[in-house]
Amino acid sequence: MDADRLIRLRLRSRPKEAAAAWPTSPLIFAVATTAEERIARRLGLRTARIGVGAAAGVPEAELVSFGLAGALRDDLRVGDVLDATRVVDTTGATLWEGAGLGVRGARPATVLGSDVLVHDRAERARLRAASGADAVDMESGVLARSGRLAGVVRAISDGVDSDVEGVDCTVHSDGRTDVVGLVRWLATKRGAAVRSMRDAVFALRALERALA
């Protein structure tokens, strides 16, 4: 991201400086989980945890959808950072379109807003063919429909071949970790669960580096 846009983005995301330094309302980085929330707060960004699929509601503010996403394209790898220019539904209809936020090193992308977790290769391929999207998450569509979306910054945490079935049972709807669900998932999925957790950590670190 070039220096001028970075300064503007960071100022607009900080509640105290924003009022004096930038004439529009500050951006709020909307995240689903506590893990994503920690990254945003470490970056000094104004943050709201909206829960999985925005179960906790959508803030009355200009929002950036921030966090992790699943790949729908074979050439997207874990840790790739996306700066979306479009959000679509499962049919490919545009829910939001913009220029992107200019995040350093990020790839422009179309993000699919899904109502459910997408966890297998066949479903990823079907959604890719139907929507033309590059990646999928469960919050960007809700935020786009609210009319308050200003941008989407997401890091790929699972590739098209990743097995994340059951990972939704490891998080409460408000984004807090479900410890019991996590233990059960680890016991059931074993190696796949460990790989999924490792990939999520790697993606979160990439997301933090991109905005640092």
Per-residue pLDDT tens over the stretch 80-89: 999 999 999 9
Q: Where are any strands of DSSP class E within the chain?
A: 27-31, 47-49, 62-71, 81-88, 94-97, 107-113, 135-137, 149-158
Find the angle CA(176)-CA(167)-CA(143) to the nearest 5 degrees. 60
Domains in the chain with CATH codes: 3-162+201-211 (3.40.50.1580)
Is the pLDDT assigned to residue 156 strictly greater than 50? yes
CB 212 within 8 A of CB 103: no
CB 200 within 8 A of CB 149: no
Average pLDDT score over residue span 12-22: 41
- pLDDT tens digit string along 21-51? 333 568 999 999 999 999 999 999 999 999 9
State residue 19's pLDDT score: 35
Calculate the CA 156 to chain-centre distance. 8
State residue 21's pLDDT score: 34
- pLDDT tens digit string along 48-62? 999 999 999 999 999
C-alpha distance from residue 125 to each of 58, 74, 119, 137, 202 (Å) = 30, 9, 11, 15, 24
Burial class (CB in 10 A: 0-12, 13-18, 19+), 174: middle
Is the pLDDT assigned to residue 16 strictly greater than 60? no
Average pLDDT score over residue span 166-173: 90
Handedness of CA 51, 199, 102, 112 (dihedral sign): negative
Is the pLDDT assigned to residue 91 strictly greater than 90? yes
Token reading at 29: 């980085």
- pLDDT tens digit string along 187-202? 998 888 899 999 999 9
State residue 204's pLDDT score: 97
Confidence of residue 7 (pLDDT cuts 50, 70, 90): very low
